[in-house]
Amino acid sequence: MGTDFQVGDHSGQSQRRALLKALLILTAGCGALFFVINIRRGVMVLAYIELGAAIASLLLYVVVRRTPRLRFWTLIYLFPFLTIMMVALHLPQASPTVFLWIYIVPVLCHLLLGPRLGLSVSVFFILVALALFLYKYPDYLYRSGFAEIANIVLSLSVTLAFAYIYERGSHRSRSDLVVMASTDPLTRLANLYRFREAFVHERSRAQRLDTPLSLLVLDLDLFKAVNDNHGHRIGDLVLIHVAQRLRERLRATDLPCRVGGEEFTVLLPDTNRDEAILVAESLRELIASQPYQRGRVSVPLSCSIGVAEWGTDGDSLDELVEAADQRLYIAKQQGRNQVVWEG
Ligand X SMILES: Nc1nc2c(ncn2[C@@H]2O[C@H](COP(=O)(O)OP(=O)(O)OP(=O)(O)O)[C@@H](O)[C@H]2O)c(=O)[nH]1
Q: Which of residues 162-221 bind ligand X (CB under 6 A)?
A: 186, 219-221
Q: Which of left, alpha, beta for 318 (phi over 0: left; psi -120 to 50: alpha)?
A: alpha
CB of 119 to ligand X, least distance (A): 43
CA distance linking residue 281 with residue 275, whole number of Å: 10
Stretch that binds ligand X, among 61-69, 188-196, 223-231, 290-298 (CB under 6 A): 223-231
The reply on whether position 222 binds ligand X by CB under 6 A is yes
CB of 56 to ligand X, least distance (A): 55
The reply on whether position 223 binds ligand X by CB under 6 A is yes
The reply on whether position 262 binds ligand X by CB under 6 A is yes
Q: Which of residues 275-294 bind ligand X (CB under 6 A)?
A: none
CB contact burial 243-254 (16+ within 10 A = b; e otherwise): bebbbebbeeeb
For ligand X, the closer CB: 202 or 221: 221
Task: State CA 213 to chain mean position distance.
Answer: 23
Stretch that binds ligand X, among 6-14, 231-239, 248-256, 319-327 (CB under 6 A): 231-239
For ligand X, the closer CB: 74 or 191: 191
Answer whether 37's CB lies under 8 Å from 84's CB: no
Q: What are phi and psi of 67, to 5 degrees?
A: -60, 140
Indicate which single residue of 21, 90, 230, 336 sits in contact with ligand X (rule: CB under 6 A).
Answer: 336
For ligand X, the closer CB: 275 or 322: 322
For ligand X, the closer CB: 43 or 222: 222
CA distance linking residue 316 with residue 200, whole number of Å: 9
CB of 319 to ligand X, least distance (A): 22
Q: Measured in Å, how far apart are the chain's first and last C-alpha atoms?
A: 31
Q: Which of residues 239-258 bind ligand X (CB under 6 A)?
A: 239
For ligand X, the closer CB: 69 or 232: 232
For ligand X, the closer CB: 111 or 305: 305
Answer whether 270's CB lies under 8 Å from 319's CB: no
Answer whether 255's CB lies under 8 Å from 6's CB: no
Residue at shortest CB range from ligand X: 235
CA distance linking residue 169 with residue 171, whole number of Å: 5
For ligand X, the closer CB: 62 or 225: 225
The reply on whether position 236 binds ligand X by CB under 6 A is yes
Answer whether 72's CB lies under 8 Å from 88's CB: no
- Kindly state the number of chain residues that form the binding site for ligand X, as judged by CB under 6 A: 16
The reply on whether position 232 binds ligand X by CB under 6 A is yes
Residues 6+ apart with CB under 8 A from 163: 106, 107, 109, 110, 111, 118, 122
Instruction: Give the closest residue to 125 by CA, choosing from 154, 155, 99.
Output: 99
Summarize as ranges the residues that interact with ligand X (CB under 6 A). Answer: 186, 219-224, 227, 232, 235-236, 239, 261-262, 332, 336
